[in-house]
Amino acid sequence: MADLKEATYSVAGGYDIHLKEAGSGPAVVFIHGSGPGASGSSNFRRNIDAFVDAGFRVILPDLIGYGASSKPEGIDYTLALFTDTLYDALRQHGVDKASLVGNSLGGAIAIQMTLDHPEFSEKLIMMAPGAVAEQASYFTLPGIAKMRSGFGGPDFNLEEQRRLIGNLMHPDSAHLISDQLVAERFAVASTQPKDVLVRMKTPNLGPRLGEIAHPIFVFWGLNDEFCPEEHSRLFLEACPDVRAITFARCGHWVQVERASEFNNYSIDFLS
């Protein structure tokens, strides 16, 4: 994997946002999703080199509550908090304009950031983006039920971490769960408070999708149990410049499960 430079920025509220980057050229910000142990580098390990080799400046932030960023307790983890702290850090990092690549919660942040700062976003690539329906509706989906675990407690262990990663993918992709990935995410999960999940609050941005005129590419796994594939039609019907691809026998992690195809389609879209 490409050598990653690291930086940390103090943002509003006194929080620290950590990020890594590699390559040079037009900026592409990869925004990871939620879940125990998530971080920018672990979620996009199979994509970094392809984008760097294609001539892009790859930026991998850790959201507040994740990776090496601050993990405050006793607060609500709102979409505005994720978006505002990330935007602050990116501007301090010297990023004036970027294409945004977001998975799940990361996709929701990409949408919110584009609505808040349309001049900042260039193109959007989203893999099963969240927050396009009422938050309560997501809790009825089978993926959420499977994520119940001992996270945040003394009984949380490596095997439980491995199981949670497996829930994100179709069974055909189980071979992609390496010991390195499990250990990397477990190390992060061991430092996270429960609040990062139990006090997460997201709005329904579905009614606002039509405000986004930027070019959009949405990817979905047909077997996604966290964000239903039918939500791709919300973008196709509301936004003026959208293309969408659905992969069979694929879960919530298109960028991992179908990395080669995802990389090729995305790089062509950004070029």
List, by residue number, the catalytic residues. Answer: 252
Rounded alpha-carbon distances, angstroms, from residue 255 to 43, 87, 232? 8, 23, 16
Q: Which residue has the tokens 């996709």?
A: 107
Contact partners, residue 16, CB within 8 Å, separation at least 6: 8, 9, 10, 69, 70
Helices 105-116 and 79-92: crossing angle in degrees, nearest 10, is 70
Rounded alpha-carbon distances, angstroms, from residue 145 to 80, 98, 138, 141, 159? 25, 35, 10, 7, 18
Residue 100: enclosing H or E segment and its boundaries?
Answer: strand 98-103
DSSP per-residue string spanning 12-28: TTTEEEEEEEE--SSEE
Query: β-strands 5-11, 15-22: how paired?
Result: antiparallel
Contact 239, 207 (CB under 8 A): no
Nearest to 37 by CA among 68, 72, 14: 68
Contact 143, 229 (CB under 8 A): no
| Measured distance CA(250)–CA(245) in Å, rounded | 12
- Reduced to 3 states (helix: H, G, I; strand: E, B; else coil), residue 63 is coil
